[in-house]
């Protein structure tokens, strides 16, 4: 499957949906951004980011 193919984007969203739920509901991260297979978690506390 070539990179950038629409199916690659679709399956990234399907498989990483579980990551989205984990970060938002278990870690309770307020600022979480994901685009396909890249993600960023932001927080005011550097210590909290190291724990995550």
Q: Let me know: does 41 contact 23? Beta carbons within 8 Å.
A: yes
Cβ atoms < 10 Å from Cβ of 2: 6
In this structure, the dihedral spanned by the alpha carbons of residues 30, 10, 3 and 1, taken in order and rounded to 10 degrees, is: 140
Task: Give this prediction's pTM.
Answer: 0.75
For the chain, domain boundaries: 6-51
> Which pLDDT tens digit goes with each residue over 27-43?
999 999 999 889 999 99
In percent, how much of the chain has pLDDT > 90? 69
Q: What is the DSSP letter of 36?
A: T
Distance CA(12)–CA(16), nearest Å, equals 6
The pLDDT confidence band at residue 1, using thresholds 50, 70 and 90, is low
């Amino acid at each position: 499957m070539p990179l950038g193919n629409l199916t690659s984007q679709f399956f990234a969203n399907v498989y990483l949906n579980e990551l989205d739920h984990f970060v938002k509901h278990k870690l309770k991260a307020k600022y979480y951004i994901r685009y396909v297979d890249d993600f960023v978690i932001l927080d005011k506390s550097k210590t909290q980011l190291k724990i995550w």
